[in-house]
Amino acid sequence: KKRVLEEDENGVIHKNRGRKPAHALSEDIRQKILNLCQSEKYRHCNDVHFSE
């Protein structure tokens, strides 16, 4: 409430907006995971298996 009174509608916006999350994966790791998902070895696995 204090921030809204001081900054008007901009006080409602979360301060982490536009930042990359601390637990986000790097693009290199994301690409490796995608390659594994699309490989013949893991063709019977679904997204739940890869999230584990």
Residue spans of the domains in the chain: they are: 19-52
pLDDT at 2: 78
In percent, the amount of the chain with pLDDT more than 90 equals 10
pLDDT at 28: 94
- Residue 12 has which token pair? 């409602």
User: How far is Cα 22 from Cα 33, in angstroms, rounded to an integer?
Assistant: 19
Residue 42: count other Cβ atoms within 10 Å of its Cβ.
Answer: 13
Q: Which of 36, 23, 28 is nearest to 50 (CA)?
A: 36
Q: Averaged over 10-22, what is the pLDDT?
A: 78
How much is the pTM?
A: 0.52
Query: Which pLDDT band, with edges at 50, 70 and 90, does 1 fall under?
Result: confident
pLDDT at 31: 94
